A = this chain, B = another copy of it.
Amino acid sequence: MLSKPKSADRPAGAAEASAGQEMYDFIKRLFPICRSLTGDGVRQTLDIIKEHIPIRIHEVPTGTAVLDWTVPKEWNIRSAYIEDEQGRRIVDFADNNLHVVGYSVPVDKTVTLAELQEHLYSLPDQPDAIPYITSYYKERWGFCLTQRERDALKDGNYRVVIDSDLSDGSLTYAELIVPGQTQEEIFLSTYVCHPSMANNELSGPAVATWLARWILEQPRRYTYRVIFIPETIGAITYLSRHLETMRQKVKAGFNISCVGDDRAYSYLPSRPGNTYADRVALTILESRHPDFIKYSFLDRGSDERQYNAPGVELPVCCIMRSKYGQYPEYHTSLDNLDLVSPAGLEGAYQVFKDCLSLIEVNHTYRIKCLGEPQLGKRGLYPTISTKSSWRESRDMLNFIAYADGHNDLIDISRHINVPVWDLYPIVRKLVDADLLEQIQ
């Protein structure tokens, strides 16, 4: 994986352009499926992912105790609508699966408008958006609709039908372990529990799937653990089974979410803020996208909450494009296929590839000789000394000055103000000249 990444402003090459487009097409295919914490929507989604990468799918029965939580009932839904007195379906799950509050219990009755209002959710400030609402842990039923639709409701009776099941079943998740030369692991986590929304959250599974494809194709030093889970309860469930192992093996991890739009790059640190994952993320983002937004751990909201909890304390941070909760379309029907783009997905994919490439090649190095090596006799230094000859070889000599057996490539990059990937050819030349020793 030791290759210089393409520069940020390069014209997209054929391979990557197609990666962005492929991910976009993949999202388009998954978009209509009604995913939730559990149920067949998750299974369908994982089956499609399995067409691309050899994930293993796991089922965990309802009622299983997982850390402080319990695996909930499984929810499935066939149809749902609100019918007016004329029999017109004025709100229909078939049009948009956000119309039903997630985990709604079955209902089939006629109610007055006043009664109906108590079960309706809309956004006065975004009158054309259907909000995304769930009630996982209290049994409720409800419909979500645009404010305009709601305002148009007239007095009268309405038939409300939700043809759903909420019953014992299981929670479904998938895992891919890609073995490397060492048992040390890089951990990637994304979630598959959101219905028809694109940036949050089909972009995550898309980028994670394409990253896994790329990882499978590369020679690799580390073992990779990639998981596709329902948010929160899935992370809790997964940790209940693998925490011990992960605490021993995971060297760095990333929660992959909100990685599909064309706007900002965003970084949300781990709780300590200085784990290996943070150092990698920051060195790549600072060099490649120096205008990225740096959030606080207090701004967290996804599965990094679990991975950074006391006693769990995995080295996991987040790299995103527009962060959940921070863009207007978030958790509404406006987070749709127009919001994400091939280029947006491609950019995030490239940043993660840069991070993983760095992790693969990063080592602590020590120069083998005392004093500066004589670079000239190896063809690595100008043979004529002019006012500027030192400057020409500056990066290499600066690299050597900090290759003291304590600094890794990230440290050296920071010390000498050179993007980390510009160190890769220097490392190669010095290793070839037998001047550099790898310490860790």
A295 lies within 8 A of chain B by Cβ: no
- A296 shortest CB reach to chain B, Å: 9
Please tell me if the beta carbons of B134 and A401 are within 8 angstroms of each other in the complex.
no
Contact with A306, one of B138, B312, B371, B376 (Cβ below 8 angstroms): B371
A297-B401, A366-B310, A386-B131 known; A371 vs B239 contact (CB < 8 Å): yes
Cβ proximity bits A368-406 to B, threshold 8 Å, 1 near / 0 not: 011111101100000111110010001001101111110
Q: Is the CB of B133 within 8 A of A370?
A: no
Residues of B within 8 A of A376 (CB): 137-138
Q: Is A243 close to B, CB under 8 A?
A: yes
Evaluate contact between B310 and A385: CB separation under 8 angstroms.
Answer: no
Copies of this protein chain in the complex = 3
Q: For the complex, what is the distance from the CA of A75 to the CA of B211, rounded to whole Å? A: 60
A298 proximity list for chain B (CB < 8 A): 394, 398, 416-417
Task: Verify if A309 is at the interface (C-beta below 8 Å from B).
Answer: yes
Q: Which chain B positions have C-beta within 8 A of A306?
A: 371-372
Contact of A371 (CB < 8 Å), options: B70, B309, B403? B309
Bound complex: CA A394 to CA B298 (Å): 8
Interface residues of A in 272-310 (CB under 8 A from B): 297-298, 301, 305-306, 308-310
**Does A259 make an interface contact (CB < 8 A)?**
no
State whether the Cβ of A311 lies closer than 8 Å to any Cβ in chain B.
Answer: yes
Q: Is the CB of A385 within 8 A of B297?
A: no
Task: Check if A187 is an interface residue, CB within 8 A of chain B.
Answer: no
A44 close to B (CB within 8 Å): no
Contact B310 A243 (CB under 8 A): no
Check if A2 is an interface residue, CB within 8 A of chain B: no
CB-CB under 8 A from A271, the residues of chain B are 401-402
Q: A310-B404, A371-B236, A403-B310 are in contact. Are A383 and B137 (CB under 8 A)?
A: yes
Q: Which of B67, B135, B367, B385 contacts A370 (CB 8 A)?
A: B67
A406 → chain B closest CB, angstroms:
9
A134 to B390, CA, bound (A): 13
What are the residues of chain B within 8 A of A136 when measuring CB–CB? 385
Q: What 1/0 flags go to A301-337 for Cβ under 8 Å of B? A: 1000110111111000000000001000011000000
| Contact B372 A311, beta carbon cutoff 8 Å | no
Chain B residue contacts of A373, Cβ below 8 A: 68
A225 at interface by CB-CB < 8 Å: no
Contacts of A133 in B (CB 8 A): 384-386
Closest 4 pairs between A and B when the two form their complex, measured CB to CB: A138-B383, A310-B404, A68-B369, A134-B385
13 of the cross-chain contacts (CB-CB < 8 Å) are: A67-B370, A68-B373, A102-B385, A131-B387, A134-B385, A137-B374, A236-B372, A243-B370, A271-B401, A309-B370, A309-B401, A310-B401, A331-B387
Given contacts A232-B372, A236-B372, 14 further A-B contacts (CB under 8 A): A67-B369, A68-B371, A68-B372, A131-B386, A133-B385, A133-B386, A137-B383, A140-B384, A298-B398, A310-B405, A311-B370, A312-B370, A313-B404, A331-B386
